[in-house]
């Protein structure tokens, strides 16, 4: 309970403000619902239409197999798509990448990143790496994404898959973290350790690179707060589908921080690899993110 003490007639009176704070929480929740209703259409109108449009281009290219040089067309389309996201990132979010030199120019690496409500920062990272390093990041994605027909060709063009491989990017928190995370930026991996097993099977020789984008949860938000949160947790556990409403598309300042590579000894166990990787990502968040996150502060960072 929340109590305040005041001096009254030479003594102390205890005042209960619990009802006030409960009222404040309800008002805050209703404001978030209103913002969600107002901005809900923005994400589909910008992000989804962009992805679908690019998917159509790659689908058309793949249909031309046997007719012309598909590989050359694919590379051209990849450059066009990456430049689109590069320009979009600068205009809409003033996006910066700090520590890009930590991504190797050659050889395998495993990139672990914090999964925001919408992984817009990851699109930016893939685009920048392709344009600056000439490398396509192989992405590990949730299985349900491949069941969405409007993005399948785009995923294929950028080497996305559901399995694991030595040179790739993964967000162990996945859809669970995206849907149920909030502006406290807690890493939500649950018991997942598949990436650690991949590194262990490779003898610990694959460097692990932690990645975090400042303010990513202020750009897009999941409406999983207040009295509705238990319901959304229950619904996700039952369906494993991303049904929590996503809203926002706020033009906040985004900075992607790429940490130094983590190397493990040959005999490192899966748990040791997972624990060291988790600590590295949490330290990256602690260093670069003010918690709880605040959309107005993140907007102000565009000009301050």
Residues 177/114, Cβ–Cβ less than 8 Å: yes
Place of tokens 């689109």: 84
Specify the pairing of strand 3-8 against strand 220-222: unpaired
Candidates 93, 115, 138, 264; catalytic one: 115
- Residue 29 · residue 232 · CB < 8 Å: no
Residue 100 near residue 123 (C-beta atoms within 8 A):
no
H helices of 64-161, where? Answer: 70-93, 120-133, 152-157
What is the C-alpha separation between 222 and 76, in angstroms, rounded? 35
Residue 91: closest CA among 50, 57, 53? 50
8 catalytically annotated: no
Q: Which residues contact 8 (CB under 8 A, 6 or more apart)?
A: none
DSSP string over 250-298:
-----EEEEPPPB---TT--HHHHHHHHHHHHHHHHHHH--SS--HHHH
What number of CA atoms fall less than 13 Å from residue 138's CA on the CB side?
A: 12
**Catalytic residue ranges:** 115
């Amino acid at each position: 309970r929340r109590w305040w003490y005041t001096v009254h007639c030479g003594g102390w009176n205890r005042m209960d403000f619990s009802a006030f704070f409960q009222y404040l929480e309800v008002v805050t929740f209703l404001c978030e619902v209103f913002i969600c209703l107002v901005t809900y259409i923005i994400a589909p109108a910008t992000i989804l239409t962009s992805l679908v449009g690019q998917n159509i281009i790659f689908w058309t290219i793949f249909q031309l197999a046997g007719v012309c040089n598909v590989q050359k067309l694919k590379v051209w389309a990849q450059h066009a798509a990456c430049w689109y996201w590069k320009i979009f990132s600068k205009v809409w979010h003033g996006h910066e990448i700090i520590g890009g030199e930590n991504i190797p120019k050659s050889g395998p690496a495993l990139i672990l990143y914090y999964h925001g409500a919408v992984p817009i920062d990851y699109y930016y990272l893939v685009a920048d790496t392709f344009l600056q390093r000439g490398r396509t990041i192989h992405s590990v994605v949730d299985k349900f994404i491949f069941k969405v027909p409007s993005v399948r060709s785009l995923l294929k063009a950028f080497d996305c898959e559901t399995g694991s491989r030595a040179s790739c990017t993964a967000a162990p928190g996945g859809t669970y973290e995206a849907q149920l995370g909030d502006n406290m930026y807690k890493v939500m991996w649950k018991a997942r350790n598949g990436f650690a097993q991949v590194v262990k099977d490779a003898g610990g020789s694959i460097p692990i690179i932690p990645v975090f984008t400042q303010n990513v949860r202020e750009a897009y938000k999941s409406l999983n707060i207040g009295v509705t949160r238990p319901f959304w947790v229950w619904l996700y556990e039952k369906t494993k589908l991303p049904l929590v409403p996503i809203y926002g598309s706020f033009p906040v300042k985004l900075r992607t921080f790429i940490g130094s590579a983590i190397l493990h000894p040959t005999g490192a166990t899966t748990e040791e690899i997972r624990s060291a990787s988790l600590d590295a990502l949490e330290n990256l968040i602690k260093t670069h993110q003010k918690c709880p996150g605040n959309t107005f502060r993140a907007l102000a960072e565009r000009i301050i």
